[in-house]
Amino acid sequence: MNPTDATGHRLSGATPASADAYAQAARELLCMVDDPLASCERALAASPEMTMAHVLKAWLLLLGTEHVALPDARRACADAAALAPRVGADERERAHVAAATALAHGRWREAARRLEDLSLRWPHDTLALQVGHQLDFLRGDSRMLRDRIARVLPAWDAGVPGWHAVLGMHAFGLGETGDYAQAQAQGERSVELEPRDGWGWHAVAHVHEMRHDPRAGIAWLQPNAERWSTGSFLATHNWWHLALIHLERDDHAEVLRLYDASIGGTGSSVVVDMIDASAMLWRLALRGVDVGDRWQPLADRWAPFAEAGHYAWNDLHAMLAFVGADRPALQQQVLQAQQRAMAEDGDNAGFTREVGHPACRAVAAFGQGDFATAATLLRDIRSHNHRFGGSHAQRDLLDLTLIEAALRGGERALAVGLAAERQALRPRSPLAARLATRARSLPPAN
């Protein structure tokens, strides 16, 4: 008799001990806390034939989007595929193996679709929901961030383990599709049920950012920092959100303090943490804030990823660091790696071709003072820059760079139009007001 997971799904090849370790890993992943990979390894040590433990290991390695994890992720997929017939893995487990294998070989859309179909048949499979939701985020698919979760809601209620995570995921999808009131309610309910649910905290932080309400954002995150940051591998990103709110209030000293304490100053070389560090320093630099020597250690940590060409979103943030630190050789390595990526099979070729490569070229041009080229490249990708991932809040960095390129390049008509557009979205924003003033002060074209 095979053990089952928390919502009753079979765990082929498991023992009671491995099932317990797997359950802990799954709980940790749902809340984004502690070390689910270590818990997963304990499950495999207790039962090397546990198919879903190999699958979970593969998913954990793949969701980090780090090229160095690919060999281990592919081995985990191969092990799961080899074990499946031997231990009698059921259809759901085999569907997970197929989806993880697709992602491990660069087929992001196929993996997301396979998980979509899996969730339709087994709506209580929280691993499929969560991984699918993250793939929607990594692919910039706002509608599926919402709808993947909405489809299974009729099968869920507070009596099913993991309800808090489903609410948090739905909240984020609602926020990314503009339903801020419902997103806030769902996210707040998520953390009320499970105070350590980092994604629920994150979803409501996005609501306050998109509503341009820094007062509410600070009230949400700052007094509760111990609850959402302790042991959380989403802590850096939620600290980034708090810093972003202070940035909107022009409190640059507090932003730099948060950067040093909890974002870039931690020395983390985890890609998702370095993304936040690059994005925050770039936003500060666009404002003319002196960030001191902070770019140099960040560029050092990005250097091993310069030639990865694995995921276009990562390439952009590596490029930000290399431009900020004035590392032209590393900038060229990124662009060359992207050229190779665009010639390969797999969905990242499209992510890079459509958005990532022109975005990186724009940032490089901006750093060289070629603001006209930067503005042209960024304008060309504006309407579809979601296709290489990130959230609306994160991709706003590209809009800010475009406005600054137009201003520094003396393109008065464009700068006035872009600044007016931003003021319409953020009528109470001090930055938006300054950008509009700067744009109007530019001399008219001859």
Q: What is the pLDDT of residue 276?
A: 98
Q: What is the pLDDT of residue 445?
A: 80
Cα–Cα distance for residue pair 420/446, rounded to 1 Å: 22
The tokens describing 133, both together, are 């939701």
Model confidence, pTM = 0.97
In a domain, 350, yes or no: no
Identify whether residues 69 and 87 lie together within a single domain.
Answer: yes
Q: How far is CA 263 from CA 239, 246, 267, 317, in A?
A: 7, 14, 8, 14
Residue 127 confidence (pLDDT) above 80: yes
Q: What is the pLDDT of residue 277?
A: 98
Asked whether 274 and 298 are in contact (CB, 8 A), the reply is: yes
Digit-coded pLDDT (tens) for 256-287? 999 999 999 999 999 999 999 999 999 999 99
Cα–Cα distance for residue pair 444/197, rounded to 1 Å: 52
Q: What is the pLDDT of residue 267?
A: 97
The tokens describing 273, both together, are 């943490």
Residue range of the domain that includes 216? 141-234
Digit-coded pLDDT (tens) for 306-317? 999 999 999 999
Q: What is the pLDDT of residue 333?
A: 98
Closest CA to 175 of 133, 117, 116: 133
The tokens describing 176, both together, are 């990314």
Backbone dihedral angles phi then psi of residue 86, each to the nearest 5 degrees: -70, -40
- Average predicted confidence (pLDDT) for the chain: 97
% the chain with pLDDT above 90: 99
CATH number for position 181: 1.25.40.10
Identify whether residues 204 and 114 lie together within a single domain.
Answer: no
Work out how many domains the chain is built from and give that number: 2
Rounded mean pLDDT, 105-113: 98
% the chain with pLDDT above 70: 100
Which residue type, as a one-letter code, is found at position 126? T
Q: How far is CA 166 from the centre of its chain?
A: 18
Q: What is the pLDDT of residue 25?
A: 98
Cα–Cα distance for residue pair 417/440, rounded to 1 Å: 10
Residue 446 confidence (pLDDT) above 90: no
Which residue type, as a one-letter code, is found at position 246? H
Q: What is the pLDDT of residue 2?
A: 79
Q: Which helix (H) or strand (E) holds 1?
A: none
Identify whether residues 10 and 110 lie together within a single domain.
Answer: yes
In a domain, 375, yes or no: no
CATH number for position 131: 1.25.40
